[in-house]
């Protein structure tokens, strides 16, 4: 643990500053969300590597900048932000309850390092690579960016000969995996509350969300009236978990509601999804030739993969990449897959819902007219929830009445405002035409599919006639 000595650093202007000596031994960068972020020597050893610097070439919101021009921020600045907030959170707990819960310098540093490195395993275009592209290449694959982040941490430590206690690295990796399905089985049996700071698998409140909700809202020009500082100032450890004041329950609900709004208006925007579908198709067509997915288990090769893969495809003269290159050119010229229509799955059908496929749409076409093929149709099944599927996220959070209270409790639905939603999950099915001249035929087949599946036409608007009549 000697590598952690004398590396405590200061907070931003929203939190208490460290000592003058702490500042002298650190560097700082100015972040447009948190102000000055101070970086101690140990953390700089990880930051100043090609593997971490690669995060500059991974846009935080994938291809959303093609719809929201300001959304060009990267995983690099987000990682610095999560590092900063993780430090602020663990220091707050240490100052208030450090003696009570045995929070020491080792705990502080591991939490901050986990915040810094939690996204170092992300692939090109962030979640698109993991959730859309890889499942098409490796059916049934359980690859995750969290596990790759853990593998990348080992690769960085070994490759750059970083002197750090092995127990510290073990703890950092456990914290990175804390919200994944592997997290609960691999974590240390003590101080569970520390694992909820960066990636909270217990109830979803963590500094990762604090940072990206604020950062993404700002980059996209959207208002954000959720104030994470209120929660960080008043949180308290009770029974080995972080609890919150009961009167802050609406602030917590606003956290999840703001996240859901970002999913609806930015992350799954209809045009953003259209471009994502095109990028996935381009990557799939280029995969065999460029072997894009061949190194997903090898950190020494994987770190070389980033968003610039699109520029590689676009500028390569190779005939084997022509189909992929043509798709990228269509994106550049705004000749996108055409949105035909969408519908929200009825609430009583959500539990038994199965993803709609292009085959479902093609098989719903009535005889006559142009004969559709599966390769003409693209379907996006969009799930939006408040982090807990169909359940109210407040149910998994414990609260306390005031600081004199030693009792923690949950808040049931009937004690919360009746203005809050009665349902916590949406499932939206969107259909796109890959060829403009087929919009009418695909829209009609989509309507037939709804009638066959639900006995009603579930969409709320008709496809514009001018789209249906469009000819290339």
Catalytic (active-site) positions? 145
Q: How far apart are CA 138 and CA 117, in angstroms?
A: 26
- 417, burial (CB in 10 Å: exposed 0-12, middle 13-18, buried 19+): exposed
CA angle, 331 then 335 then 340, to 5°: 110
Q: How many CB atoms lie within 10 A of CB 105?
A: 15
CA–chain centroid gap for 226, Å, is: 18
Q: How many CB atoms lie within 10 A of CB 330?
A: 16
Residues 6+ apart with CB under 8 A from 9: 18, 22, 23, 26, 38, 39, 40, 87
Cβ proximity of 209 and 364 under 8 Å: no
Cβ proximity of 266 and 61 under 8 Å: yes
> Within the chain, how many helices (H) and strands (E) appear?
20, 9
Q: What does the DSSP assignment read for 306-332?
A: STTHHHHHHH---GGGHHHHHHHHHHH
Query: Which residue in this structure is represented by tokens 């694959």?
Result: 141
Angle at which helices 270-290 and 322-332 pack, to 10 degrees?
A: 160
């Amino acid at each position: 643990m000697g590598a952690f000595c004398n590396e405590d650093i200061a907070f931003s202007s929203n939190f208490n500053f460290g000592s003058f000596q702490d500042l002298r031994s650190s560097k700082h960068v100015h972040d447009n969300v948190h102000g000055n972020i101070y970086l101690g020597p140990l953390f700089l050893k990880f930051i100043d590597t090609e593997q971490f610097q690669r995060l500059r070439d991974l846009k935080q919101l994938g291809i959303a900048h093609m719809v929201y021009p300001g959304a060009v921020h990267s995983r690099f600045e987000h990682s610095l932000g999560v590092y900063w907030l993780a430090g602020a959170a663990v220091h707050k707990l240490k100052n208030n309850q450090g003696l009570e819960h045995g929070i020491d310098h080792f705990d502080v540093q591991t939490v901050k390092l986990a915040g810094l490195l939690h996204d170092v395993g992300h692939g090109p275009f962030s979640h698109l690579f993991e959730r859309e592209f890889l499942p098409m290449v490796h059916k049934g694959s359980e690859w995750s960016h969290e596990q790759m982040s853990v593998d990348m941490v080992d690769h960085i430590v070994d490759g750059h000969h970083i002197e750090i206690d092995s127990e510290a690295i073990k703890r950092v990796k456990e914290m990175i995996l804390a919200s994944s399905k592997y997290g609960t089985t691999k974590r240390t049996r003590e101080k569970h509350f520390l694992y909820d700071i960066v990636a909270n698998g217990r109830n979803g409140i963590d500094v990762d969300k604090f940072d990206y909700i604020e950062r993404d809202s700002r980059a996209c020009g959207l208002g954000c009236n959720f104030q994470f500082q209120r929660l960080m100032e008043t949180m308290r450890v009770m029974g080995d978990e972080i609890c919150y004041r009961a009167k802050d329950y609406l602030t917590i609900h606003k956290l999840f509601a703001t996240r859901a709004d970002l999913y609806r208006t930015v992350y799954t925007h209809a045009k953003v999804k259209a471009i994502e579908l095109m990028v996935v198709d381009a990557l799939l067509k280029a995969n065999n030739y460029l072997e894009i997915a061949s190194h997903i288990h090898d950190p020494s090769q994987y770190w070389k993969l980033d968003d610039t893969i699109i520029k590689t495809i676009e500028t390569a003269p190779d005939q084997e990449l022509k189909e992929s290159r043509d798709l990228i050119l269509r994106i550049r010229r705004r000749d996108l897959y055409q949105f035909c229509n969408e519908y929200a799955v009825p609430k009583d059908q959500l539990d038994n819902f199965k993803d709609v496929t292009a085959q479902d749409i093609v098989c719903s076409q009535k005889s006559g007219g142009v004969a559709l093929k599966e390769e003409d149709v693209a379907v996006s099944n969009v799930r939006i929830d408040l982090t807990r599927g169909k359940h109210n996220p407040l149910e998994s959070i414990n609260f306390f009445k005031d600081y004199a209270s030693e009792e923690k409790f949950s808040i049931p639905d009937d004690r919360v405002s009746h203005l809050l939603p009665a349902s916590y999950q949406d499932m939206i099915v969107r259909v796109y035409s890959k060829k403009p001249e087929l919009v009418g035929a695909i829209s009609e087949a989509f309507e037939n599919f709804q009638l066959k599946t639900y006995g009603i036409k579930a969409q709320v608007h008709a496809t514009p006639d001018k789209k249906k009549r469009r000819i290339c």
